[in-house]
Amino acid sequence: MTEWTILGAGALGCVMAGLLRQRGERVSFMLSARHRGHFHPSLDLITLSGRHELIQSQPRFPEQARQVECLLVFTKAYQVLEALKGLQGLPTTTPIILFHNGLGVAEQVQELFPHNPLIAGVSSHGAMKEGDWLVRHTGKGETWLGPQNEAAKSWAHLVKPLAAALGHAEWSNDITLHQRRKLAINAVINPLTACNNIYNGQLLEPRYADVLEQLSEEVFQVMANLGDTEEQKDFRRRLQQVIELTATNYSSMHQDLIHGRKTENEYITGYILAHAGTQPVPVSSQLYQEIKRRGG
């Protein structure tokens, strides 16, 4: 049985760890030096039914990188490289699965670990951090894995234990499609909720109807120009569904901005701007600049 090592103990990383442990999988957390010498607490997972479950896991530290069998990276996009640089002892056979939001990081990770199987992960599970080592699973979703290099193509078997733990996990040889479709949703919801200081469901209020429509159109057109064949009505339906399913949630960008943390603006809205070409994207540009102005 593979041990799953979680790098990035945020909301989604902790929920994934909890779901894997519930299925009897071996799970560890790769911790930073500041946790050294501290008692490693149990993870308190609040399940979909509202029940509290204590989840036990093993602590790991960077000097134990050689023991890592499978690495799941749940850090913010801008933290990925720095977090991985401390794991230079990672065996070249260990798969690295990147679960961050946005796009543009995998290429840099490939340079850092040229021989490791590099896999992209996309998940729509809902997760909310309510305290230190206290997380709430707020919604079931789909999880997709796919290869980012040649070495990763022989690791499709990883989806079987993940599917058993998460309810759904599939392998896709065109993982970029799933990444872009998730990014498209994030590029609408995240900057709008962050700049307006609202939770996701408020985007459906009449006062946001015009800007929601304009931004959706911009993002859809950029993705269409990149080769996505999804029809506009299907994109709108998907966007509406995500807003409704996460209605009471605050987006990650909203939470980062409100708490004075760096956001993933560069990897989400920045990606839209970088790939807009000659297409005008005034709403995306305005939101991007506003988040930068506020320090995000």
Query: Which is nearest to 281 in space by CA: 205, 209, 224?
Result: 224
Rounded-to-integer distance, Cα 78 and Cα 135, Å:
22
Query: Which is nearest to 203 in space by CA: 218, 194, 193, 214?
Result: 193
Catalytic residue, from 140, 182, 233, 262: name it.
182
Q: In this structure, are residues 200 and 250 in contact, taking their beta carbons and an 8 Å threshold?
A: yes
207 class by beta-carbon count within 10 Å (0-12 exposed, 13-18 middle, 19+ buried): exposed
Residue with tokens 């996701």: 200
Query: Which is nearest to 60 in space by CA: 106, 10, 4, 12?
Result: 4
290 class by beta-carbon count within 10 Å (0-12 exposed, 13-18 middle, 19+ buried): middle
Rounded-to-integer distance, Cα 247 and Cα 180, Å:
22
Q: Angle, to 10 degrees, between the axis of helix 209-225 and the axis of helix 175-196?
A: 150
Residue 262 is a catalytic residue: no
Which residues are marked as active site? 182
